[in-house]
């Protein structure tokens, strides 16, 4: 039976590339170039605006029993978007900037996956949140100012939220026919590749 855990085990190499990257290592050591980090920050804000729409579409097709967790996530996204705006203002960055190609592909993926059955959407949503949670935890403690970013996505509360998303995705996958499970696996691998590309984008500056 396909589960979130089985996806992580089967595709461990791809997931490692999604959650471990020199960008994060350089944040840990404080050697990331300001231009690289700022590029990532602005593009991530643009990503989160589309991710918020994905969350809303997921809620629209979710079973009522899953509402509480998803609504909590939407509330957190509201705070996150405001936080991004504060960080951009502190750094004097313009958020109304064009999407870079990696960001555009990821956003298109999120729009496309919203047309999939709920099980596929739930697994994709979990995978995206897990990628952020793990990526900002795995390097270990980061120096200022990047420790604030690691705390936002690597804190215990966010980790528990991701576990709840995993539980809901697994519940949906249990009832999924083999074709839907196969589509879920393909989508999981797409998330892994898109995450890797998004970290890499900052080094193109």
**Per-residue confidence in pLDDT tens, the chain, 205 aa:** 899 999 999 999 999 999 999 999 999 999 999 999 999 999 999 999 999 999 999 999 999 999 999 999 999 999 999 999 999 999 999 999 999 999 999 999 999 999 999 999 999 999 999 999 999 998 889 999 999 999 999 999 999 999 999 999 999 999 999 999 999 999 999 999 999 999 999 888 6
Domains of the chain (ranges; CATH) run 4-91+100-204 (1.20.910.10)
For the chain, give the percent of residues with pLDDT over 70: 100
Residues in Cβ contact with 27 at an 8 Å cutoff, skipping those fewer than 6 apart: 37, 139, 142, 146, 149, 150
Whether 64 contacts 28, CB under 8 Å:
no
Q: Which residues contact 155 (CB under 8 A, 6 or more apart)?
A: none
Q: Cα torsion at 127, 130, 131, 135 (round to 10°)?
A: -170
Model-level pTM? 0.96
């Amino acid at each position: 039976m396909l589960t979130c855990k089985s996806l992580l085990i089967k595709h461990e190499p791809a997931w490692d590339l999604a959650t471990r990257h020199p960008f994060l290592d350089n944040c840990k050591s404080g050697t990331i170039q300001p231009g690289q980090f700022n590029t990532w920050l602005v593009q991530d804000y643009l990503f989160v605006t589309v991710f918020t729409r994905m969350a809303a579409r997921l809620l629209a097709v979710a079973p009522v029993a899953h509402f509480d967790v998803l609504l909590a996530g939407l509330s957190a996204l509201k705070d996150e978007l405001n936080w991004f705006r504060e960080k951009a203002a502190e750094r004097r960055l313009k958020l109304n900037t064009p999407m870079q190609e990696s960001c555009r592909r990821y956003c298109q993926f999120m729009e496309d996956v919203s047309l999939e059955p709920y099980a596929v959407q739930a697994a994709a949503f979990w995978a995206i949140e897990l990628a952020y949670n793990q990526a900002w935890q795995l390097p270990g403690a980061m120096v200022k100012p990047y420790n604030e970013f690691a705390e936002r996505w690597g804190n215990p509360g966010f980790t528990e939220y991701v576990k709840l998303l995993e539980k809901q995705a697994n519940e949906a996958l249990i009832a999924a026919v083999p074709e839907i499970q196969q589509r879920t696996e393909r989508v999981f691998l797409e998330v892994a590749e898109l995450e890797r590309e998004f970290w890499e984008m900052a080094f193109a500056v």
